[in-house]
Amino acid sequence: MRLFKLPFKNSKESTADFTETVSENMPKHIAIIMDGNGRWAKKRGMPRVAGHREGMDNVKRIVKAANQLQVEILTLYAFSTENWKRPLTEVEYIMKLPIDFLQHYLPELVDENVRIQTIGEFDDLPKNTKAAIMRAKEQTADNTGLILNIAINYGSRFEMIRSIREICQEVQEGKYEIEEITETTLSDHLYTSHIKDPDLLIRTSGELRLSNFLLWQSAYTELWFTDTLWPDFSKEEFEKAINDFQKRKRRYGGI
């Protein structure tokens, strides 16, 4: 990675003479499919939920690293619309993780100037999960560092259907004509309307697919895969993914 020193802007202490290593051509938005928690636990003879717990702790480490590297947005796939098919005990456990995570780490995230947002069908989450996340969103709303964007009860196909429904409604209301619908119209109705598309998408655990994650938004995203299971995915490997990204030529269909 081509590293040089810059003032560390993503922290509230940034006005001091604190400097942090950052690099040129950093991906502004990184999305991660945090896969392999179950296998991590199985390898150790532990229940699957132990892998999710360890995965949750790793979220904190990677959030910290992303913030230090001055990444602007980190979108983490925490729970898909398809994950409801899992055994109820596992679903309930995963739904409690954001509550635990915020209980443990919210003060630190506030200090680190991180802003918490979500994408997905938020209203359908369990009441306690919603309440904990709402509190965190409110408490961090004015923060100006890394946006930690949690994809929870998120599915890309449903996101597009939802967007199309809203557009049809607006056409019916006479706000614009069908012929006026563009890529921007659709983008503007996605959960991600307020954030730029991911530059880099990482998937851990050796699986090579997108699993209904940011399908529209990742049209020109650089993909990066590793066999490492999410709980073992380290800051060093995160930097390696960024380093590889920096060597890629993005042509967006041009030459």
For the annotated binding site for Mg(2+), the residues are 35, 222
Contacting range for ligand FPP; rule: CB under 6 A; set: 32-40, 134-142, 209-217, 242-250: 32-40
115 lies in the site for ligand FPP, by CB under 6 A:
no
Interaction with ligand FPP in 212-241: which residues (CB under 6 A)? 230
Tokens coding 148: 């930690």
Contacting range for ligand FPP; rule: CB under 6 A; set: 30-38, 120-128, 157-165, 208-216: 30-38
Classify 176 in phi/psi space as left (phi over 0), alpha (psi -120 to 50) or beta.
beta
Bridge partners of residue 170, in order along the sequence: none
Which DSSP category does 251 fall into?
A: -
95 lies in the site for ligand FPP, by CB under 6 A:
no
Tokens coding 174: 């006479």
Residue with nearest beta carbon to ligand FPP: 38
Burial of 170: CB neighbours in 10 Å, binned 0-12, 13-18, 19+:
middle
Helix, strand, or coil here: 204?
coil
Residue of 35, 143, 149, 197 marked catalytic: 35
66 lies in the site for ligand FPP, by CB under 6 A:
no
For ligand FPP, the closer of residues 37 and 163 by Cβ is 37
Cα torsion 225, 199, 98, 9 to 10°: value is: 120
CA distance 109 to 114: 5
Among 30, 32, 34, 200, binds ligand FPP (CB under 6 A): 34
73 lies in the site for ligand FPP, by CB under 6 A:
no
User: Residue type for 159, please?
Assistant: E
64 lies in the site for ligand FPP, by CB under 6 A:
no
Which DSSP category does 73 fall into?
A: E
Among 11, 50, 52, 154, binds ligand FPP (CB under 6 A): 52
How wide is the angle at C-alpha 88 spanned by C-alphas 84 and 93, nearest 5°? 90
Reply yes or no on whether 83 is catalytic: yes
Residue of 10, 83, 113, 143 marked catalytic: 83
For ligand FPP, the closer of residues 157 and 165 by Cβ is 157
User: Residue type for 240, please?
Assistant: K
32 lies in the site for ligand FPP, by CB under 6 A:
no
Contacting range for ligand FPP; rule: CB under 6 A; set: 36-44, 122-130, 176-184, 215-223: 36-44
- Taking CA atoms, 71 is separated from 25, 29, 43, 100, 250, in Å, by 11, 6, 32, 25, 18
For ligand FPP, the closer of residues 22 and 94 by Cβ is 94
Q: At what angle do helices 88-111 and 127-140 cross, to 10 degrees?
A: 20
Reply yes or no on whether 199 is catalytic: no
55 lies in the site for ligand FPP, by CB under 6 A:
yes
Positions in the binding site for ligand FPP (CB under 6 A): 34-39, 52, 55-56, 59, 76, 78, 83, 94, 97-98, 101, 150, 205, 230
Active site residues: 35, 83
